[in-house]
Structures are given as structure tokens and as C-alpha cells.
Structure 1
């Protein structure tokens, strides 16, 4: 494992070896690896010759899964800049926080969402805003057609204006007039500021270095083994590239091996998603539990060609047994679940395809140590639940400008506390029990929402479920369940009876609430915290009435 290379070293090697191979396809248009090389060079030239940006400065990239994303990110890195991956769904408050916290001096944003940024940009230190339309890298005719339909027919582009605005295509034109110079960056230099989701408080920027990301790329490749063949894979990319999981898989591991990613700009539009997949004999699929469920509910999904599909990777949230079983039955491909977090670039563990243990997140990837500890920091033996800790080359440098938070998370020996409760089995496989803060304590017994949700999701009338703890006079806390029905005939009584048959009495939900949908993050994780906050407000209102 060569950890002395930078991301641009990896990029240059891939361009030299696989230049003619397709790299990314979006909305029917494909860019080869040599196209990405040429276009990212132009963008780097623009940044170097037409802005005041210097190596080490931060550039926020607020783009969904469109072809501009890899061009902009690799171009920014070639110019020596630090990429600040920025969620397109951010509110004004969230965006303003991230731009100011990171000290971003430039922003690349899609026109469809630029109105949010335009309302806060004057309250930040951003000096240059580069605005791109969805099809800016397509052929002239298709570009005009797609961009016009988005703007004038579908009305997808709200009004916005920036004092310091540059159009992406103009920037690329200027960049093409002069050569760029790849800036040498050391393995310890920060490459990406990846902000945590903010579901546990104010979003913090994890400083991911070149070494962190290159190491995790190598770890993922070793974990996947022979299942990734150079220049032969076609992977579906519905998860956002600005999320570190998809970035490491598609922009690092697959790009470095000359493989092809099919970008899905809007995976929530399931019918359009399935239509995109028709006729593609894809070999890999990267997703998560809620996405797998959504696809399998679409009647056209089962008609796709799965004959070449050999890898389905799941991460980002717990994979339920029922979902994994149905996916394998429908596609013929077993789901290999892994585990990671923003602070670990992100992959910590992965199920080997030839030895998947359903219900676990696999074994630690190469060069990674794991252990579990109790509340006092003492190491615990195998098969005992405790807080999972990780040490390895993929562990972040720390939180951006937050020394205290860094010290609370990473100890002097380099162990990172994940905040997740886990069990390490004798065979090395890891089972994530739950988030430490999501754990419910009923009469002194630990109850883990993941277990309850896994059981409930196996009911054939349930689409998805979320379990939280709410105050109870007798037991301290009790379990409340939120459920989206797959069948309107499902009743609370039927569901609770099912739970009694399948779990210990103290784990059985005392309350069930049916909903049309559950709150989720941009990548589809169910937000238990939001549900819990709603319940606490209701309880507080009743107490004050």
C-alpha cells in the first residue's frame, strides 16, 4: 500500500494508463478519463490565471451528480486548492455556516440551486462564484435543449444573481487559453474538508488529507479484491459524489482502475432512475437500504438486466435483513454491507463478497485496527457491546479549527471514538448495535433501535420503520415506533403482536405511529433525532398546558 502518493498522483497515473476508457456518464453523455484530464486542466488553469486563489485556499463545490463534479474537483485539486464538498440541499443557514466556517473563497454552484447561495453570499468571504447549468459539458445541441427545458419549461432554475458571478462555460473557455501547472501537494496536506451531516449538532469539517483518501482507496480496492477488474466495470452511482462514501468509490477507487460510473443526478425520481438503467449491463451498484427498497417497489426494476451484476455495496445506514434478502432474490446479487464515517474517509470495514455475514458490517479493511471500550475507556473483550474505536491511515487529521472537538474524538494514541455501539465477534466480523446517542434504556436494559427496525421491516406490510426512546414514568424510557405502511390494512395491534412474537418483552414498542414518510438526510438516512425532537416538543407542550 503506497501512502506517499497524493490524489493528483493517483489521477495522473489513471490518465496515463486508462485515457481512452469511459469514466463518467450522465444524462446520456459520456466523458472518458482523457476528457476528464483535459477539462480539469482547463478548470485548474482558470483558477490559477483568472482568480486570486492560492494553493491551500478553500473552494466550495455545490453540485449534484453531474459531469461537472469530477471536472471541478480534480481541477481544483490540480490547482492546489482544498475542496469543500457542499450539499446542494443546504438551507441558507447551513450554507452560510459552512462557507464561513471553512473560509471558502470560491463557490461552484448549479444554477438550479443557486438562489439559496445568492441570499447569503454577501455575508461570507466568498470572492468568486462560478455558476454551471446542468448540461454544460454536453454537445452544443443537447446542451441547449436540456438547459432550456430545465430553465424555461420545467421552471427548475429560480431567479438569482451574484455580484461576482462567472459562468462555468466562460471559465472553461478562459482556462483553455493558457496551460495550467499541477501543484505538488504532500500526503499530509488536507485535500478535502468534508462536513459531518450535522445530525448530532453543528456541522464540523473533517480534515481529510491526501494520505487519508489514497489510503482508503487502496483499502477499498483490497477489500473488494478481484471483484474490481481494471477497465471492465460499470458501476451505478446514485449516491451523491459530494458524500465521502460515493466520492471514495467513484472518484477514487473506480477512476484509478479505469472503470466507468453512471451518474444519477436525482435518485429520488425512481421511474427516471430505472429508465436510465434500461439497456445497461452494469456490474456494480452502490446504494443504501432506503434506495434499495424504493427501487424494488418499482415494477419496471425487476425487468432490468442483472446478468453482469456481481457487486452491490451498501453503506450509510443499517441494512435490514429483509431488504438484503429481497435484493438478492430479485437481482441474483448478494448485498455486501460495510461501515464507515466521514471522519474515516470513510470505509472502516466491509463484508468480503465470498463470505458475507448478513447483519454484520464485515471485517476491518487492511491496515485498520478496531476495538470496543466501555464508558470509562476500558477495552472490552470480543462479543461484548461497547463504543467502537478505530485506528488506521484513513482516520482524519482532525476537525477544522476545532482542537477541543478533535481531542475529544481522537486520543493521544490515534484511536478515533466513533460514537457507535458495536460488538466484535471472535471471527473479526463487526456488528453495529446502534448509535451511542440513539440507544434506548428501558428499565435498565439497553435497547438498540437498529434491532427493532430490522425486525419490524421484515413484516410484509411495512415499507420502512424508525424506533426512538421517549420518557416513561415506570421504565425510564419506552420504545415508540414510526412506520410507513406497504399495505393499508396494517394495524397497530397486528404490528405489536408481530413484535411480541419476535423480540423480548422490554423491546416491544409501546406506541406506534403510522406516517406517509419518514424524515431523511440527503443520502436517505432516517433522522431519528428529528422524530425524537418532535416527540419531546409534544410532551413539553402537554406538560405546560
Structure 2
């Protein structure tokens, strides 16, 4: 049975997927007509690229409902309401740099805080913290890491960077990346997700196959790198990639772009494991100058 056949046979109204499955459903030709009982698709567990969400909804006419949570909070802490009018749904999904994860759910408090744990202003970036009845008691027999997970007044630290905006009288939240994945180059901070989006906007066919990450660098502390999961690179695509990179501010440009057939490391929920890719860039720890586009050696290891 195909996914669409199961949805039809069981009259499924709501299903859940990780973002990396959306291109698979598009390639399979899924549309509203093929799954008429499906009201919407829940999307969570990994960042949802805005262009992918827009393309999926336009081609399938199936609304995407994004939620956000973490294992330590048992279930969703935020979620876009499936009952939003179409115009408001579109605004939440496509009016900001990333699709919204919606407001905090009933019984849950969410804040965006700075490095000192103080709430930030609307639009400012910080760490999303959460508190409520679904908060874990702690990590099993691990008091040290349990203590690290909580800030003042019982706020659980998510490790996710984001911001909030006021929408119809209440805050709605947005996730822009993982704090541990932020690239720190010459003391300036860059979100790899934001840099990825910049490149994918210029080359939308690379969505889901292009990853930006930071790798150790002798001069800058960290440098911006990128990996493209593509076994070969023709001259036309190489030229378009070079042009897109050259259009970025110098400090934000990937200085090394590797490509190859090696799969992008992901967790079982589809989250990209950028740190496992850092050793791939060890050869360029002292690289300076223009961007290098090169093939990833087949024997390049993946760190654990």
C-alpha cells in the first residue's frame, strides 16, 4: 500500500510527518483529491523550510500545521491552530522568515529569554524556555544534567533559538535554529538555518539536500561551510551555486562547499546532525580566500 492508499482506506483525517518526508510525498504526486478525508498534516521534530511548506501547500492543497515541543516536555508546547482562517494560516506560515510554531498551548507557558534568563522584546532572538504541567520530573538518575536543564523558577531550557511576534492579541513563536549549532565567526553569530534558506531561495531544487554548518578554523574560530548531498555537480549548477554564494555578505558565505553521495546524518526523527559533519572539513581548517567547491572524499568519516 502507498501512503495515500492507507489514508483513503482508513479515512484518516489527521496525519503527522517530519519535514524531510514532504518532498517524498510531492514526488509521489499526493494531492487533496487523492486523500479527500485528510484535513491537514501535522509537521514537527525538525525545522520546516518556508519555501518547502509554501510549495507543498500550493501543489497539494493540504494545509500544514506546525507544532513544537521536546522530549523533556512530553508533547507539544506550541502549535498552530488547525481552525485558523485560511488568510491567518497563510500569514502565520509565510509572513515571517520562518513558519510559525503557533502560540503556547493551554496549560503551557513559553518565553524567549536572553543569555541571563531575562525575557526579550518582541522580535528579538533568544532561547525558547517552557514551563507547565507536561514538564519532566528529571533525567533518570542524573541529577547533574537535570539541574542544567532548568533555569530560574522552573523554566525548562529547550536549546532552541527563536523569537516571538504578537498575533491577534497573543504571542506566537518561531524557531530559528539550535543554539549549539550557531556559527560563531570572529565573535559574530550566524544561524546556519538562515544561511541555508538564503541559498535555497536561489536554488529551490536543493531544499533538503543542502546543509550549512560551522567548522573549526584557525583564524576565525569557526568558519562557514556547506554540504550538498549530490553525487556529481555539473557546470551549470556549479555556476549558479557560485553566484548565489557570491551574492551573500562575505562573512556569511560558505568558504568551503562539499558535495557527495554520502547521506546527510539525521536522527530517527529527521533532525540534521550537523556536528557529525564537522570532521569532513578538517582539510580546510586554515583556508582563506574565495569559496572552494569540492567533492567529499568517499572515505571521509562521520563522528559519533
The TM-score range, normalised by the shorter chain, is 0.7 to 0.9
Q: 2:178 aligns with which of 420, 435, 443?
A: 435
Query: Who is 1:96 aligned against?
Result: none
- 1:475 correspondence with 2:220: yes
Does residue 283 (structure 1) correspond to residue 13 (structure 2)? The answer is yes
Deviation at 1:276, TM superposition (A): 4.2
Q: How many angstroms does 1:447 deviate by? A: 0.7
Q: 3-state DSSP class of the match of 1:380? A: coil
Choose from 346, 365, 368 the match for 2:108.
368
Whole-angstrom distance in 1 between the partners of 2:259 and 2:10: 38
The normalised TM-score by structure 1 is 0.45
CA RMSD, 1 decimal: 2.7
The CA deviation at 1:486 is 10
Measure the CA separation in 2 of the matches of 1:486 and 1:455.
22
> Aligned match of 2:205 in 438, 445, 461?
461
Residue 450 of structure 1 deviates from its aligned partner by: 1.4
1:424 aligns with 2:154: no
The one of 528, 532, 540 equivalent to 2:278 is 532
Note the alpha carbon deviations across 1:12-38, whole angstroms, 9 max, x for none. Answer: xxxxxxxxxxxxxxx8xxxxxxxxxxx
CA contact (8 A) 1:277 1:304 kept: no
Tell me the SS of whatever aligns to 2:154.
Answer: coil
Larger Rg over CA atoms: 1
Aligned equivalent of 1:448 = 191
Q: Does 1:307 align with 2:36?
A: yes
Equivalences for residues 58-69 of structure 1 within 5 A: none
Distance in 1 separating the partners of 2:231 and 2:57: 20
> Per the alignment, do residues 301 and 508 of structure 1 end up closer, same or farther by CA in structure 2, a change over 3 Å counting?
same
Q: Which runs of 5+ in 2 are unaligned?
A: 287-304
Match of 1:130 in 2: none
Shift of 1:403: 1.1
CA distance in 2, matches of 1:337, 1:324: 10
Calculate the TM-score normalised by the size of structure 2: 0.78
5+ residue gaps, structure 1, are 1-26, 28-271, 541-545
Per-residue CA deviation, residues 206-229 of structure 1 (Å, 9 max, x unaligned), is xxxxxxxxxxxxxxxxxxxxxxxx
TM-fit CA distance, 1:330: 2.5
Distance 1:397 1:281, change over 3 A: same
Check whether the contact 1:287–1:312 (CA below 8 A) recurs between aligned residues.
yes
Alignment deviations for residues 170-196 of structure 1 (CA, whole Å, 9 cap, x no partner) = xxxxxxxxxxxxxxxxxxxxxxxxxxx
Is the CA contact 2:128–2:158 (under 8 Å) kept in the aligned structure 1?
Answer: yes
CA pair 467-329 structure 1, distance change in 2 beyond 3 A: same
2-side partners of 1:514 and 1:460: how far apart? 17
Partner-residue secondary structure (3-state), 2:161: strand
Of 57, 60, 68 in structure 2, the residue corresponding to residue 339 of structure 1 is 68
Partner residue, 1:110: none
Q: Relative to 1, partners in 2 of residues 1:537 and 1:351: Cα closer, same or farther, differing over 3 Å? A: farther
Q: How many residues align?
A: 268
User: Alignment partner of 2:153: what SS?
Assistant: coil
**C-alpha distance in 1 between matches for 2:32 and 2:76:** 32
Residue 413 of structure 1: SS of its match in structure 2?
Answer: helix
Shift of 1:461: 3.0
* Native 8 Å contact 2:31 2:61 kept in 1: no
Closer, same or farther in 2 for the Cα pair 1:303/1:349, shift >3 Å?
Answer: closer
In structure 2, distance between residues paired with 1:304 and 1:514: 37
More helix by share: 1
Q: Secondary structure at the match of 2:226?
A: strand
